């Protein structure tokens, strides 16, 4: 799986003015255009079938001697291929299939034109081959093939066209004119194709940059700068979504409030830089607690944090709270002035209910439980989590 594309890397790539996308950007470019290109390719198939078979009228008018052969090639070979390709493109296949089959459109038509051309030997008949040049120009500019497939198709068309011209009995002047016209048309149409594709890629890169910038701005507005956890604004937004989505029936929900024990003493003793580092490490322990994307870890303010657990029962919430308490204690961050423990600890209050109650009601209950945990001696969960493996740890000292 490819790594997410960073805004910095994308801006550096745009500044480099490179036209060759990195593998990640190329994949993103293909994913972005896949639906559009498949629909466009289906439209081109339909238009090509109509235009190509109307072109058969020219065979009837200009080359009646080979009209039967032209009809067989039109209606038994090329048109069925167009139809089958159109049906496959409805499934939005991969680039290799989509552009691989699309590149054979022009090859089949050019081959058909040159076969009919070689079957006719009159002076006027030699002008028939110029229709192949029109096909190559149309394919390179209108088909929207990837540049690699356009080069492949043009090269194959050039081989078929030039081989038929150079081995034909037409005068040297006709051969020189035909070869020069084909090569010029191929180069100019490929240049136009290159410029069009480069414009599409640049437009995609700019749109992608705008999306990433918008995402970063939204992310910054919803994240705490120090810890990377969600902030109060994001908490309010998520709570609103949860409560609106679960009006009936009510959904279980739990809130865990916690703060760092005696953090002011820690800050006064070790200094504010150490305090910030402590908060970041505790936030790291908290960020590992959510069970999935539905859960939300929040820096509620200062040294206070919150976990919002939609769908969680009381047992799940208490287990989560105890896991956080142990994770912080195990980090063994020294806290010499703490009257509770020689290492940094946290107190946690848990409240559970459902969305029939308001978010503010459950939040107030969690805050009350946190206050009770502090009064009971800190470094504990209230209500207490009764583990069958290990009883709750007794506090070493009384709370102050």
CA atoms of 367 and 229, how far apart (whole Å):
19
CA atoms of 228 and 226, how far apart (whole Å):
6
pLDDT value for 222: 84
More confident residue, 186 or 395: 186
CA atoms of 266 and 345, how far apart (whole Å):
11
Q: Which domains, and CATH codes, for the chain? A: 7-215 (no CATH), 232-382 (3.30.70.270)
In whole angstroms, what separates CA 255 from the centre of its chain?
A: 33
- Range with top average pLDDT, 97-101, 105-109, 226-230, 346-350: 346-350
| Pairing mode, strands 304-310 and 296-301 | antiparallel
pLDDT at 172 over 50: yes
pLDDT value for 125: 74
Q: Tokens in use for 178?
A: 């035909």
pLDDT value for 340: 93
pLDDT value for 390: 43
Label residues 141-162 b or e (16+ Cβ within 10 Å = b).
eebbbbbebbbbbbebbbebbb
Is 336 among the residues known to form the active site?
no
pLDDT at 20 over 60: yes
pLDDT at 328 over 80: yes
> Which tens digits make up the pLDDT trace of 249-261?
888 999 999 999 9
pLDDT at 385 over 90: no
CA atoms of 200 and 144, how far apart (whole Å):
10
Task: Give the pLDDT band of residue 286 (cuts 50, 70, 90).
Answer: very high
Q: Which of 303, 304, 336, 389 is catalytic?
A: 303
């Amino acid at each position: 799986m490819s790594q997410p594309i960073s805004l910095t890397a994308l801006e550096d790539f745009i500044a480099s003015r490179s036209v060759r996308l990195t593998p990640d950007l190329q994949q993103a470019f293909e994913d972005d255009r896949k639906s559009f290109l498949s629909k466009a390719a289906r439209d081109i198939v339909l238009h090509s079938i109509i235009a190509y078979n109307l072109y058969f009228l020219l065979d009837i008018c200009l080359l009646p001697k080979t009209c039967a052969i032209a009809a067989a090639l039109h209606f038994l070979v090329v048109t069925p291929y167009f139809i089958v390709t159109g049906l496959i493109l409805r499934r939005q296949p991969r680039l290799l299939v989509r552009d691989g089959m699309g590149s054979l459109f022009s090859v089949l038509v050019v081959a058909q034109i040159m076969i009919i051309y070689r079957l006719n030997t009159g002076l006027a008949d030699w002008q028939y081959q110029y229709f192949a040049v029109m096909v190559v120009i149309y394919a390179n500019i209108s088909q929207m093939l990837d540049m690699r497939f356009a080069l492949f198709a043009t090269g194959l068309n050039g081989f078929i066209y030039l081989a038929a011209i150079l081995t034909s009995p037409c005068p040297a002047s006709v051969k020189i004119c035909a070869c020069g016209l084909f090569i010029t048309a191929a180069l100019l149409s490929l240049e136009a194709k290159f410029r069009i594709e480069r414009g599409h890629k640049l437009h995609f890169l700019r749109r992608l940059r705008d999306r990433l910038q918008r995402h970063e701005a939204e992310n910054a507005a919803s994240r705490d700068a120090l810890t990377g956890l969600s902030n109060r604004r994001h908490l309010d937004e998520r709570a609103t979504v949860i409560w609106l989505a679960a009006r009936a029936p009510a959904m279980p929900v739990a809130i865990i409030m916690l703060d760092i024990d005696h953090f002011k003493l820690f800050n006064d003793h070790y200094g504010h830089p150490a305090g910030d580092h402590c908060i970041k490490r505790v936030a790291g322990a908290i960020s590992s607690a959510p069970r999935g994307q539905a859960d939300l870890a929040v820096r509620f303010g200062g040294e206070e944090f919150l976990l919002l657990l939609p769908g969680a029962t009381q047992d799940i919430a208490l287990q989560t709270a105890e896991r956080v308490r142990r994770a912080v204690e195990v980090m063994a961050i020294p806290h010499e002035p703490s009257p509770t423990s020689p290492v940094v600890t946290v107190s946690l209050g848990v409240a559970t209910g459902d969305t029939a109650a308001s978010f503010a009601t459950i939040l107030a209950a969690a805050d009350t439980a946190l206050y009770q945990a502090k009064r009971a001696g800190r470094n504990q969960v209230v209500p207490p989590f009764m583990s069958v493996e290990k009883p709750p740890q007794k506090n070493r000292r009384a709370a102050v």
